Structure 1
Amino acid sequence: MRFGVQCPQPIFAQDPQMHIRFFVFSYNRGEYLQNCIDSIRQCAPGHPITVMDDQSSDPQTRQVLERLSEHCQIWSPKGNEGQSKHGGLYNNMQAALEMADGKGLICFLQDDTQLVRAISPEEITQINAYFENQAKAGFIQPAFIRGCNRATDDAHTHYDAQTGMYFVDRKKRSVGTYYADILITRPDRLKAVDWQFEQREPANEQQAKRHFTPMAYLANPFAAWLPNVPAYRGKVKTWALRRAEVQTGAGFNPVGILSEAESDALARRDKALAPYAEDWLTPLNGEVAKPWIYYPLQGRRWLKRFNNLEVKLRKLLG
């Protein structure tokens, strides 16, 4: 099934615990934001959506936000306090957490992600049951695993039949065992430990390690990062980052929504086969070189050094 074709319409009760509240974090990528919101409205109709816009200035993005305001809550921070290389991402994530109440599930996505299949009420019940049965569980990762990490992840990924979840041991890396920025959680679980989002993903990994058991990965993911997208760091593009985007052919690469038959095949597969994005998803705007990359400077050592140098110079010059 592709965009423009409606996903099956699940029937949700009025109970907030039968909904997922989606928060989408965005900055100056209107086309991507529209794609992400469209995917949520198709695959999870009736679920509340809040766009956390990081003070976008791009005219096209502003137009998209205006259109989305008809059926989504739009939130934007005031001022420029606490900006990091991710812009105001983590401050905005903290604001989203403070907006959310109780035990209702929340899902954090970014504008370069999307939903890829319909979410059933039964799945929401299973996710709620996981949190209820695992008192120390903090996070679930809802996205397909990135194939670019297959060589290292495959041997360290295991399926736990008791919980129906995967767990990935990335303890030799800075993120991914306990925490990821794309996540499902319960507000009460984080607020009980006075969770405050740190300004870097590795710092949040360490915080999650102190409070929670390892992060679960959905056996049948419903979200995905888009492959080979342009990027911002600190709301600017350095010369090196722009050059890397040209070299990689970075662009808008939405993926198709899985059909009911494709979703069934995903659910019925041998769980020894971890769900890697390239194995199940199809880009709509033409072939994308595999394994997919998710950051233009990925694997480009010299351009990464030039990028870091320019960032340091910008800070010195104010």
Structure 2
Amino acid sequence: MNIEKASIAIYVFSYNRAEYLENCLKSIDTHSYYRDITIIDDVSSDFSTVKLLKKLECGYRVVYSNETSCDHIRYGGLYNNMNWAIGDAQNRKLKRVLFIQDDMQLIRQFGPQEYNDIDHFFRNNRRSVQYYSCFLKSKHRNVDEQSLVPDLSCTAYICNSKFHPGFRFFSDVGVFDIDRFKLNFQYFEGDERDNNLKAINRNLVMGLSMRPFMMWLPFPESHRGKKRSVKHNLIESLGGAGFHPVDELEHSKINLLEKKLPFAEDFLHSPAIGQCRWWSTEGGLENLLARYGWRHILAKLIRKLERNNLFKSI
């Protein structure tokens, strides 16, 4: 394949997270061979984010969700913005897109070899619209070890269980093939669970990269500039929520990726997160659940009270 003709663009989805967005873009500038980058911001209201976006307009293509439109949906919101991005890529005659969110980053090179892996996967999997380029989280380690199998391309895993508790047939992020998507998926539904079910019902598979190159930042703050209750803030604080960038993947570990499932906890390092059962990337109570000892016990108690309507949901 002529890598110069590898028609792929990167779409970064942003909302009220200046520090995270800056880190995400820095990682792309450092590690990505592909330089066609569009930032889609969902009309951030946070002063620092607005200020950063104005600065970024000088070097990046920045689009705001109140400037986007799709015929069948309203303005704004992550999935509406994703639908707009697919349409934009189609209009620009792009072959593929990489979707990444502001609270993520590239942790190693995304270049011709990675693109060739992606291309090889799609050539061998006609019933796929997506290649998931992120590390896995250990939260579902036992199930993943039973249900993820190498596909024919030997560049990705596919899930053989429709009952997997995670989302293994669709993700909000990763590489999408535009023509395949328009033919087999048409448009994104309103949440990740519905999109995962849609993929299952249409007999689609998602490739989970054997050599992933991106990941969410662990234990994030979930407020995104919105006012949260004292209780919510306390729980996030106890869970160690904060801005936790991930170190670049050590070169010596890259060749080990193909030898076992790529769980983030086994390969990556984020210096300030402390000990944890798994990397939480959802914020809120999930941060507390992912910890050891009394914090994990407290989180389970709160969840039990929530289910019995004895405690307002976090």
Q: What's the TM-score, normalizing by structure 1?
A: 0.81
Distance 1:261 1:191 in 2: 39
Identity of aligned residues (%): 29
Task: Kindly indicate whether residue 60 of structure 2 is the aligned counterpart of residue 72 of structure 1.
Answer: yes
> CA 1:235 to 1:170, structure 2 compared with 1: closer, same or farther past 3 Å?
farther
Quote how far apart the aligned CAs of 1:256 are. 0.9
Quote the residue 1:47 is aligned against. Answer: 35
Quote the residue 2:243 is aligned against. Answer: 252
Match of 1:97 among 86, 89, 102: 86
> CA 1:13 to 1:177, structure 2 compared with 1: closer, same or farther past 3 Å?
closer
Quote how far apart the aligned CAs of 1:83 are. 8.3
Deviations 1:174-223 (A, max 9, x none): 65231011221111111123612111111111222233522110001001
Deviations 1:90-135 (A, max 9, x none): 1111111111124522111111111110123122123123223322
Distance 1:61 1:23 in 2: 17
Q: Secondary structure at the match of 1:14?
A: helix
* Pairs within 5 Å for 1:50-129: 50-78=38-66, 88-101=77-90, 102=93, 104-129=95-120
Quote the residue 1:6 is aligned against. Answer: none
Unaligned 5+ segments in structure 2 are: 290-298
Distance 1:248 1:162 in 2: 40
Task: Kindly indicate whether residue 281 of structure 2 is the aligned counterpart of residue 294 of structure 1.
Answer: yes
Task: Kindly indicate whether residue 131 of structure 2 is the aligned counterpart of residue 140 of structure 1.
Answer: yes
Q: Which amino acid aligns with 1:154?
A: E
Match of 2:21 among 28, 33, 38: 33
Q: Which amino acid aligns with 2:107?
A: V
Deviations 1:54-92 (A, max 9, x none): 1111111112212322222111111899789xx711111
Decide whether the 8 Å contact of 1:138 with 1:208 is kept in 2: no
Deviations 1:116-166 (A, max 9, x none): 101231221231232233222111111000012213322222223544311
Task: Kindly indicate whether residue 263 of structure 2 is the aligned counterpart of residue 276 of structure 1.
Answer: yes
Quote the residue 2:4 is aligned against. Answer: 14
Distance 2:249 2:141 in 1: 22
Q: Which deviates more, 150-159 or 135-144?
A: 150-159
> CA 1:132 to 1:307, structure 2 compared with 1: closer, same or farther past 3 Å?
farther
Q: CA RMSD in A?
A: 3.0
Distance 1:210 1:125 in 2: 29
* Pairs within 5 Å for 1:177-256: 177-193=168-184, 195-232=186-223, 237-256=228-247
Distance 2:139 2:263 in 1: 9
Deviations 1:8-39 (A, max 9, x none): xxxx8431xx2531111111111001111111
Unaligned 5+ segments in structure 1 are: 1-11, 312-318
> CA 1:181 to 1:46, structure 2 compared with 1: closer, same or farther past 3 Å?
closer
Distance 1:132 1:79 in 2: 35
Decide whether the 8 Å contact of 2:107 with 2:249 is kept in 1: yes
Distance 1:21 1:169 in 2: 30
Distance 2:12 2:275 in 1: 25
Distance 1:274 1:185 in 2: 22
> CA 1:213 to 1:79, structure 2 compared with 1: closer, same or farther past 3 Å?
closer
Q: Which deviates more, 114-123 or 100-109?
A: 100-109
Decide whether the 8 Å contact of 1:239 with 1:307 is kept in 2: no
Quote how far apart the aligned CAs of 1:238 are. 4.3
Between Structure 1 and Structure 2, how many residues are aligned?
292
Distance 1:22 1:128 in 2: 16
Q: Which amino acid aligns with 2:216?
A: W
Q: Secondary structure at the match of 2:128?
A: coil
Quote the residue 1:164 is aligned against. Answer: 155
Quote how far apart the aligned CAs of 1:225 are. 1.2
Distance 2:87 2:252 in 1: 39
Q: What's the TM-score, normalizing by structure 2?
A: 0.82
Distance 1:47 1:212 in 2: 33
Q: Secondary structure at the match of 1:93?
A: helix
Q: Which deviates more, 25-34 or 255-264?
A: 255-264
Distance 2:122 2:311 in 1: 40
Q: Which amino acid aligns with 2:88?
A: M
Distance 1:158 1:210 in 2: 20
Q: Which amino acid aligns with 2:218?
A: P
Quote how far apart the aligned CAs of 1:243 are. 2.7
